[in-house]
Amino acid sequence: MSHDTSSNLPHPPRVVTTINNADDLAFARTADLPSLCDVLEIRLDGLQETPLELSELQSLHATTPLILTARREDEGAFSPMSDAARIDAIHQTLLQDAMVDLEFRTLNSTAKSPALTRLLEAMKNNGNTIVMSYHDFNGVPDEAQIRDHLACAREHRAITKIAATVNSTTQLQLWTERLAQLECSNQRFSFMGMGKFGMATRLIAASAGSELNYGFIQSASVPGQWPAKLLKATIAKLS
């Protein structure tokens, strides 16, 4: 019998696995997704050559909640997309109640494009939750950066999602301090490490209230990820 360690958390930890490319999509089409994950992320930036029919997205969403993502190139896109193309890809696949990943840099822009304004309005009408993401491939954000991200997330009623690089015990200490800052914010968050200590941070974060915890469906896209099925089983046993 598994032990749900998150019963006292306002938003229990969920495991997200990501469809990064055509091979992942083919695997997902025949997989028992609820046994692998709680949420399925669709990386539209990795599926430009494999367009998804809206009907297939709706079918997936009926089984497993979706996150729709078209990542910025400077935050790890699988293939380049202009800002206009990214926004359009999300808008064209927008489903009722699906989550949408938009970067902090996109949402915090002082000059929001008309396309982004239209997307945000459509999301408001659809009941879509924003996952406001930020990826630091060099280290760990400082306290002021976390405050800025939380402020932006409050404005957009978003989940703050931050991935930091944790390759040393010094970075691990900084990461733990930022985790405490997020935990004390009383806001929804997703926090994880990439690199040498990445796997350890994902369990610690889930125990502290990280709502979305990312694993891979077939192969890791960054160092420090867990296989989603193993991550789901392990989080269920945390105490």
pLDDT of 49: 86
pLDDT of 6: 39
pLDDT of 4: 39
pLDDT of 221: 85
Distances (CA, A) of 230 to 4, 121, 220, 234: 15, 38, 13, 6
Query: In the chain, what is the greatest distance between 2 CA atoms, to the nearest angstrom?
Result: 52
pLDDT of 239: 60
Distances (CA, A) of 194 to 10, 199, 215, 224, 235: 26, 8, 12, 5, 18
Between CA 113 and CA 125, with CA 119 as vertex, the angle to 5 degrees is 140
Q: Which structure tokens are listed for 87?
A: 């926004």
Residues whose CB falls within 8 Å of the CB of residue 144, separated by 6 or more in sequence, listed in order:
none
Predicted confidence (pLDDT) at residue 191 exceeds the cutoff of 60: yes
pLDDT of 110: 62
Mean pLDDT of 211-234: 94
The band of 2, judged by pLDDT with boundaries at 50, 70 and 90, is very low
The band of 9, judged by pLDDT with boundaries at 50, 70 and 90, is low
Structural domains in the chain, CATH included, are 14-237 (3.20.20.70)
